[in-house]
Amino acid sequence: MTEFFQSLGMSYEWAWGVATIAGILLIALPLMLSVAMIIYADRKIWAAINLRRGPNVVGPFGLLQSFADGLKVMLQETIIPSAANKGIFILAPIVTFTVALAAWAVVPFSATAVLANINVGLLYILAISSLSVYGIVMAGWASNSKYPFFSAMRAAAQMISYEVSIGFILVCVILYAGTFNLNEIVLAQKGHGFGIVNGYFFNLLLFPMWVMFFISSLAETQRVPFDLTEAESELVAGYQTEYSSMSFALFWLGEYANILLMCVLNALLFFGGWLPPIDWAPLYYVPGIIWLLLKAFFFFFMFSWVMATVPRYRYDQLMRLGWKVFLPISLLFVVLISGWLMATGHYGAAA
Amino acid sequence: MIQTIAFYIFAVLVIASAVMVITARNPVHSVLWLILAFFNAAGLMVLVGAEFIAMLLVIVYVGAVAVLFLFVVMMLDIDVAALRAGFVKNFPLGIVIALILLAELVLGLSAYRVGAIELGTAAAGEAPAMVASNTGAIGGLLYTRYLFLFEAAGIILLVAMIGAIVLTHRPPKSKRGHQDIGKQVRRNPDEATVMKQPTVGEGVEL
């Protein structure tokens, strides 16, 4: 895109600056729109499973419900509790929202449509997702209130625990792909299963890793059944109890942007990203972004499905699952996969 | 041009937030400034082309170490006034430590200018030629030239980890309070509940 702006007669610096800002807007604005629609889809799916109708009043089929909610929230008064630590209280939702958007910089939507095609893309996503805990911890502490603080403590422990096993699962994918670059990881999955199926899920060693990654991404985004940070029965509304109006909406948007990111990551790492599911020439006429969004929406449907059917975990069960089940299994699979790759001469070094 | 602007932004922010770490009155604010300093240091590393190190800095220091710092500091009820009471008394000691650190920095930098230190095996595995990504280059160096140092570091970490587990591990003293998740999950309604139809005025006998 920089070349395009340079062809309009700008100097390289200006063209780069304008192109970057245009790229950010091109990703962030559709993302916000899709967050609004995905919240609607979430409520509809959830309602359908519960045999309810869900939002159906605002606009055709209730499609505009999220926008009505957004407008309502925007018109409300922002309340800052007098005992709160003002600066951090205001900063916390901004951090959450910014971090949720920043991770999208390295997501490849098709072979060329990626804002920053960097070599350490996957590490960048891991780094950014480890930052997202700060928004919650800051919110919980700055509110100067019991329940948000409990919630923040839970969130921090939960996210650190599951990041460890997510790290190991990502190592498995990286071992197979041989690169941290997300675009190259997608390309490495081309024809992975018998030369026909595009995607690492078709691998007996990587399929269990995908199941664990899916469950860990539920825990990482604090979705049901791991939404202990927002356990209404114990913690009112968790870390966002004291928040109102736009600051609350920023948490909400950030949360759903993170969920979408995890859905897209599931698609990118295990289901061939923007490649069609089958390596068959006519399917490549469909643009890559359509495949990616279809896959991401499929995972989002699974997120909603889980939310509507599974009861909440107890906190000790959550910690046990993370540390005593997922960590050893993912570590075992790192050993198994690297052993398999060495034995089959994947790296040109057959033992 | 872009790099220069980015460098000055990152550098100024690193120094400013490092100063704020020691001058902030609230310890939680100090930790948050420290996190900002880490983050901007990672930005500087990206600028010199060490993107792998930069990401590791964010993942390890910001994502894990600083979270635990923040955890501890938030739980403690630190009286800042009491901490500052000893400022004058400890001032000379602080100056001495600062001077030692300064001397070490000067020594280290001048030693660095003289030439690289030869560590690890002597020419057993020569460093491979620089490959395209610095992730590959770091991996190549760690597993050839610095293999023994790398593995020694790994063993030290393992020992530290086992030590921490041994220090904090307490075997359950009594069966009370011990949970067997498998047993809890295996329970079914038939063996866990009893249906009773008490008549009016009588209690339930179990």
The complex scores an ipTM of 0.80
Tell whether B109 and B56 lie within a shared domain.
Answer: yes
Q: Is residue B191 part of a domain?
A: no
Q: Is residue B61 part of a domain?
A: yes
Cβ contact B29–A88 (<8 Å):
yes
Tell whether B112 and B50 lie within a shared domain.
Answer: yes
What's the CATH number where B20 sits?
1.20.120.1200
- The domain containing residue B91 runs over which residues? 1-117
Cα–Cα dist B131/B34, whole Å: 34
The tally of domains found in chain B comes to 2
Q: Is residue B56 part of a domain?
A: yes
Q: What is the pLDDT of residues A148-174, one digit of tens each?
A: 888 888 888 888 888 888 989 999 888
- In a mutational test of the A interface, the residue from B17, B30, B32 whose CB has the highest number of chain A CBs within 10 Å is B32
pLDDT value at residue A185: 86
Cβ contact B55–A126 (<8 Å):
yes
Taking the Cβ of residue B91 and every Cβ of chain A, the question of whether any pair is shorter than 8 Å is answered with no
Q: Is residue B44 part of a domain?
A: yes
Tell whether B106 and B143 lie within a shared domain.
Answer: no
Cβ contact A131–B28 (<8 Å):
no
Q: Is residue B142 part of a domain?
A: yes
Which chain A positions have a beta carbon within 8 Å of B26's beta carbon?
Answer: 85
Tell whether B34 and B136 lie within a shared domain.
Answer: no
Q: What is the pLDDT of residues B94-108, one digit of tens each?
A: 899 999 999 998 988
pLDDT value at residue B122: 47
Q: What is the pLDDT of residues A173-213, one digit of tens each?
A: 888 888 888 888 888 888 777 777 788 878 888 889 999 99
Residues of chain B with pLDDT under 70: 77-84, 114-132, 172-177
| Stretch 34-53 of chain B: residues touching chain A, C-beta under 8 Å | 35, 42, 51-52
Contact partners, residue A40, CB within 8 Å, separation at least 6:
A55, A62, A63, A65, A66
Backbone angles phi, psi at B124, to 5 degrees: -60, -50
Cβ contact A131–B63 (<8 Å):
yes
Taking the Cβ of residue A136 and every Cβ of chain B, the question of whether any pair is shorter than 8 Å is answered with no
DSSP letters, chain B, are -HHHHHHHHHHHHHHHHHHHHHH-SSHHHHHHHHHHHHHHHHHHHHHTT-HHHHHHHIIIIIIIIHHHHHHHHHHS---HHHHHHTHHHHHHHHHHHHHHHHHHHHHHHHHHHH-----SSSSSSPPPPP-SSHHHHHHHHHHHTTHHHHHHHHHHHHHHHHHHHHHH----SSSTT---HHHHHH--HHHH-----PPTT-----
Q: How far is B14 from chain A (nearest CA, A)?
A: 18
pLDDT band at A11 (very low <50, low <70, confident <90, very high): confident
Cα–Cα dist A275/A287, whole Å: 9
Tell whether B86 and B11 lie within a shared domain.
Answer: yes
| Stretch 2-61 of chain A: residues touching chain B, C-beta under 8 Å | 13, 16-17
Q: How far is B130 from chain A (nearest CA, A)?
A: 15
What is the model's pTM?
A: 0.82
Q: What is the mean pLDDT of chain A?
A: 85
Which chain B positions have a beta carbon within 8 Å of A137's beta carbon?
Answer: 67, 70, 74
**Percentage above 90 pLDDT, chain A:** 9
Tell whether B77 and B138 lie within a shared domain.
Answer: no
Tell whether B98 and B161 lie within a shared domain.
Answer: no
Q: What is the pLDDT of residues A122-147, one digit of tens each?
A: 888 888 888 888 888 888 888 888 88
CA angle (A21, A120, B54) in 5-degree steps: 90
8 Å CB contact between B47 and B8? no
Cβ neighbourhood burial of A152 (10 Å; 0-12, 13-18, 19+): buried
Taking the Cβ of residue A257 and every Cβ of chain B, the question of whether any pair is shorter than 8 Å is answered with no
Q: Is residue B3 part of a domain?
A: yes
8 Å CB contact between A140 and A151? yes
CB pairs under 8 A between A and B: 66
Is the torsion defined by CA of A17, A18, A24, A28 positive or negative? positive
pLDDT band at A349 (very low <50, low <70, confident <90, very high): very low
Find tokens 């057959």 and name the residue.
A350
pLDDT value at residue A155: 85
Q: How far is B56 from chain A (nearest CA, A)?
A: 8
Which chain A residue's Cα is nearest to B50? Answer: A120
Tell whether B137 and B109 lie within a shared domain.
Answer: no
Q: How far is A14 from chain B (nearest CA, A)?
A: 10
Tell whether B18 and B81 lie within a shared domain.
Answer: yes
CA angle (A228, A230, A235) in 5-degree steps: 95
Tell whether B71 and B164 lie within a shared domain.
Answer: no
Tell whether B64 and B113 lie within a shared domain.
Answer: yes
For the record, the structure tokens of A57 come out as 């009043």
Tell whether B140 and B103 lie within a shared domain.
Answer: no
Q: Is residue B101 part of a domain?
A: yes
Q: Is residue B143 part of a domain?
A: yes
Higher pLDDT, A198 or A268: A268
CA angle (B41, B42, B45) in 5-degree steps: 90
